[in-house]
């Protein structure tokens, strides 16, 4: 059982390979924490020097007088295993290996990395890296990373943790946060992840409850089986999580003849869907990630449909903000008549509808500006007030900026944001007052929308009953693809609503079946060897009379004799009308039970509109991913519940028709059962 306190809040740290050269890696790993005022104990280890940066060195780890919380190893690859062995003997709890040249390079490096893992495990140590830049505990002033970013500007303490597999992305994020003044508590670069992974650290951070937001940068998700548990822990803890994906993940392609196999083929898109469904924010850019996190960390109590107010000296900027708000689905309510009258009483030159245009006249009557801000906030009619800072490059002394800082400081219960091009000291002054900062209206409104949507999904995901935990062998093994008739029989027996129909052996029987069903009808060529019949011309729609049915039967029979001569059936069904939907439930070999929902029809693979989430799901999750009205969301949830009872790897229904009377009617189905599962009808 890992004791995580020394890991996250170390007090004694030994640096093996410590250097007196301030620019070498071994020098930076000591110097940065010394310069930052680390209040714990640093023990430099170097047999060739008596002291570095004024601290007495030790010849080796065997000469330590107390067990360190961390040993940071800054030695060449060939000397690392010996140092890690000595760290274990010295009683170290954790070891960080910053050297490169391990599994990322060659077979010899992979063997060395495996050896490091074995040594750390034998001594009960946790291993960060190898090929790690290190870590920061900003609140404790522990900067045991060697990135030159620390030379230019150390992060300010705050409520954000950054965990990255890439050192460059991590330092990029640290820099960006420093530029806008977003406070950071921890940064960990996991490197090759021989032991500790980014997902494990995120999960532990959630359990510790010391941060309000986490930025994750993932290049390869090595422990997919833990992805669900990590996101669930973060959702349960109410921690805003943004994930930046770079590269691909070894998810494993689903072996299936259903549309589903192609639809989940893009690994990053699938991971993005799952992250979003669990309440995370799948960021496509670093700017988007930082914008999301600053709103989420600064304003965690925003309602699901936040009302935005905007104050500007420019009507044009107000129009841009209103357009951006509309694009991102953010409400900008017109202030009530009493509030507008109150503002006009002391600022008759203003246009206080919302956006509130103070006009340039406010320059001559600056005392009115803080009153406008106060009246907007006190109105109770907006949830976040944004203010345009026209002269942000003038610095923290800008008069508009100072008035906003005063307003935010006097109302810590209110949510404020600033829009403008800001100097570093201007951004810092605003952030110190709890004001989020943005340079573009679209950035602000997009981050606002993403934050409240993620919060709603996060709460829903935390409330959901836990599904089966993913396993590496789930969903594998031999399978049998049922034809449409057999698949629909299983769905009907499970309680799903299926389009009424019947089979016919000849054209005359086809006319009798169609007459009993009631025109119009659909005729289909059904064969296990032709799962996607529409691609082969195997579907005839809008058959309004007996002649049309006879002609369709003959045409489909000809196709069947040509394509699958020994195994085909002609199926006739009452033609159903309504909105077409694609619904699938699969058991992914590594991610576990997944549900996909999107627009249905023959072009489902090309549309790119199917969204995936972990199953099982209920009506609330269906509504969240599809935007369906309550009746149809309930019907689709009932269909998914029926699909869940079928012992199959894949249950795909496409299309499902959402009818005017609120039903979800299955018009076509593909079911792939595991051989010997008992699901074969």
**Long-range contacts of range 202-205, CB-CB < 8 Å, 24 or more positions apart?**
202/161, 202/163, 202/230, 202/233, 202/234, 202/241, 203/229, 203/230, 203/233, 203/234, 204/2, 204/4, 205/161, 205/163, 205/239
606, pLDDT greater than 80: no
Condensed to tens digits (0 to 9), the pLDDT of residues 356-409 reads 999 988 889 999 999 999 999 999 999 999 999 999 998 999 999 999 999 999
Look at residues 153, 135, 152 and name the one whose alpha carbon lies nearest to residue 144: 135
DSSP letters for 182-215: --EEEEEE-TT-SS--HHHHHHHHHHHT--SEEE
676, pLDDT greater than 90: no
Name the average pLDDT for the chain: 91
- Write down the H helix ranges in 90-166: 107-123, 149-152
476, pLDDT greater than 60: no
Q: For residue 96, give the H/E element and its range.
A: strand 94-97
Condensed to tens digits (0 to 9), the pLDDT of residues 646-671 reads 999 999 999 999 999 999 999 999 99
Give the SS3 label for residue 666: strand
Band of residue 262 on the pLDDT scale cut at 50, 70, 90: very low
617, pLDDT greater than 50: yes
Please state the φ and ψ torsions of residue 58, each to the nearest 5 degrees: -120, 145
Stronger pLDDT, 241 or 223, i.e. the higher one:
241
Confidence (pLDDT) at 253: 41
Query: 26 is written with which tokens?
Result: 């071994």
The pTM for the full model equals 0.89
Look at residues 61, 52, 58 and name the one whose alpha carbon lies nearest to residue 33: 52
Give the Cα separation of 672 and 385 in Å (integer): 53
522, pLDDT greater than 70: yes
pLDDT, average across residues 288-309: 96
Confidence (pLDDT) at 248: 45
Query: 17 is written with which tokens?
Result: 């390979």
Condensed to tens digits (0 to 9), the pLDDT of residues 531-574 reads 888 888 999 999 999 999 999 999 999 999 998 888 899 999 99
Give the Cα separation of 585 and 608 in Å (integer): 17
Look at residues 79, 85, 174, 73 and name the one whose alpha carbon lies nearest to residue 129: 73
User: Is residue 129 exposed (0-12), middle (13-18) or buried (19+ Cβ within 10 Å)?
Assistant: buried
474, pLDDT greater than 60: no
Look at residues 210, 166, 175 and name the one whose alpha carbon lies nearest to residue 8: 210
Band of residue 608 on the pLDDT scale cut at 50, 70, 90: confident
pLDDT, average across residues 479-501: 94
Q: What is the CA radius of gyration of the chain?
A: 31
467, pLDDT greater than 80: no
User: Any idea what the Cα angle at residue 268 is, between residues 262 and 271, rounded to 5°?
Assistant: 95
Query: 81 is written with which tokens?
Result: 């295993």
What domains are defined for the chain? 5-217+233-257+279-284 (3.40.50.720), 299-462 (3.40.50.261), 500-574 (3.30.1490.20), 579-674 (3.30.470.20)
Q: 3-state DSSP: the chain helix, strand, coil percent, rounded to 5?
A: 40, 25, 35
Q: Where in 415-552 does DSSP place strands (E)?
A: 416-419, 435-438, 479-482, 497-498, 501-504, 521-526, 539-543
pLDDT, average across residues 110-117: 96
CA separation, residue 152 to residues 133, 141, 147, 431, 435 (Å): 17, 15, 10, 20, 24
| Residue carrying the six token digits 């999904």 | 457
250, pLDDT greater than 80: no
CB-based contacts of 301, cutoff 8 Å, min separation 6? 415
C-alpha neighbours within 13 Å on the C-beta side of residue 600: 22
User: Any idea what the Cα angle at residue 644 is, between residues 640 and 646, rounded to 5°?
Assistant: 125
Give the Cα separation of 552 and 159 in Å (integer): 67
Give the Cα separation of 368 and 374 in Å (integer): 10
Look at residues 65, 100, 95 and name the one whose alpha carbon lies nearest to residue 82: 95
Q: How far is Cα of residue 124 from the mean position of the Cα atoms in its chain?
A: 32
């Amino acid at each position: 059982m890992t004791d995580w306190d020394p890991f996250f809040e170390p007090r004694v740290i030994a640096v093996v390979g410590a250097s007196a050269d301030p620019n070498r890696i071994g020098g930076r790993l000591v110097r940065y924490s010394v310069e930052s005022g680390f209040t714990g104990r640093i023990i430099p280890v170097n047999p060739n020097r008596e002291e570095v940066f004024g601290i007495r060195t030790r010849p080796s780890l065997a000469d330590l007088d107390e067990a360190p919380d961390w040993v940071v190893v800054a030695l060449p690859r060939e000397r690392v295993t010996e140092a890690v062995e000595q760290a274990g003997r010295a009683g170290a709890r954790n070891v960080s290996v910053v050297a490169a040249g391990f599994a990322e390079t060659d077979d010899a490096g992979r063997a060395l990395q495996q050896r490091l893992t074995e040594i750390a495990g034998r001594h009960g140590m946790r291993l960060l890296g190898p090929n790690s830049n290190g870590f920061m505990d900003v609140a404790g002033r522990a900067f045991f990373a060697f990135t030159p970013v620390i030379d230019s500007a150390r992060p300010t303490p705050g409520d954000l943790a950054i965990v990255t597999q890439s050192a460059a992305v991590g330092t990029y994020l640290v820099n960006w946060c420093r530029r806008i003044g977003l406070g950071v508590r921890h940064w960990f670069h996991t490197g090759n992840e021989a032991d500790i992974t980014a997902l494990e650290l995120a999960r532990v951070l959630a359990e510790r409850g010391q941060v309000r937001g986490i930025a994750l940068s993932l290049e390869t998700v090595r422990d997919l089986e833990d992805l669900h548990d990590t996101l669930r822990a973060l959702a349960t803890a109410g921690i805003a999580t943004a994930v930046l994906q770079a590269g691909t993940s070894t998810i494993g392609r689903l072996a299936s003849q259903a549309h589903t196999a192609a639809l989940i083929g893009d690994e990053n898109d699938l991971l993005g869907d799952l992250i979003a469904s669990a309440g995370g924010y799948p960021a496509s850019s670093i700017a988007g990630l930082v914008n999301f996190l600053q709103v989420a960390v600064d304003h965690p109590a925003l309602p699901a449909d936040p009302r935005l107010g905007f104050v500007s000296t420019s009507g044009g900027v107000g129009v841009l903000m209103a357009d951006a708000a509309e694009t991102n689905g953010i409400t900008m309510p017109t202030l009530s008549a009493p509030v507008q009258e109150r503002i006009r009483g002391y600022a008759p030159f203003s246009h206080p509808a919302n956006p509130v245009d103070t006009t340039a006249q406010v320059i001559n009557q600056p005392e009115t500006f803080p009153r406008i801000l106060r009246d907007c906030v006190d109105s109770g009619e907006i949830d976040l007030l944004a203010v345009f800072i026209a002269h942000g490059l003038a610095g923290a002394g800008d008069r508009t900026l100072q008035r906003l800082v005063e307003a935010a400081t006097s109302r810590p219960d209110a949510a404020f944001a600033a829009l403008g091009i800001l100097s570093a000291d201007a951004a810092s002054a605003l952030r110190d007052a709890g004001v989020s900062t943005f340079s573009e209206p679209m950035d602000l409104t997009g981050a606002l929308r993403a934050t409240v949507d993620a919060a709603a999904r996060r709460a829903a995901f935390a409330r959901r009953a836990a599904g089966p935990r993913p396993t590496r062998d789930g969903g594998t093994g031999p399978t049998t693809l049922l034809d449409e008739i057999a698949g629909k029989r299983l769905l009907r027996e499970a309680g799903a609503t299926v389009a009424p129909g019947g089979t016919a052996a000849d054209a005359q029987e086809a006319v009798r079946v169609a007459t009993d069903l009631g025109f119009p009808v659909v005729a289909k060529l059904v064969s296990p060897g032709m799962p996607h019949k529409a691609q082969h011309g195997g579907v005839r729609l809008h058959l309004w009379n007996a002649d049309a049915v006879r002609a369709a039967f003959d045409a489909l029979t000809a196709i069947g004799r040509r394509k699958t001569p020994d195994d085909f059936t002609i199926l006739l069904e009452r033609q159903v009308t309504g909105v077409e939907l694609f619904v699938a439930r699969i058991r992914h070999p590594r991610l576990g039970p997944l549900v996909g929902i999107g627009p249905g029809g023959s072009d489902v693979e090309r549309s790119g509109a199917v969204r995936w989430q972990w199953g099982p799901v209920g009506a609330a999750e269906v509504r969240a991913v599809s935007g369906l009205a309550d009746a149809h969301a309930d019907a689709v949830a009932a269909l998914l519940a029926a699909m869940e009872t079928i012992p199959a790897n894949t249950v795909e229904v496409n299309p499902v028709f959402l009818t005017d009377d609120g039903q979800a009617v299955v018009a076509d189905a593909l079911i792939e059962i595991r051989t010997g599962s008992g699901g074969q009808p």
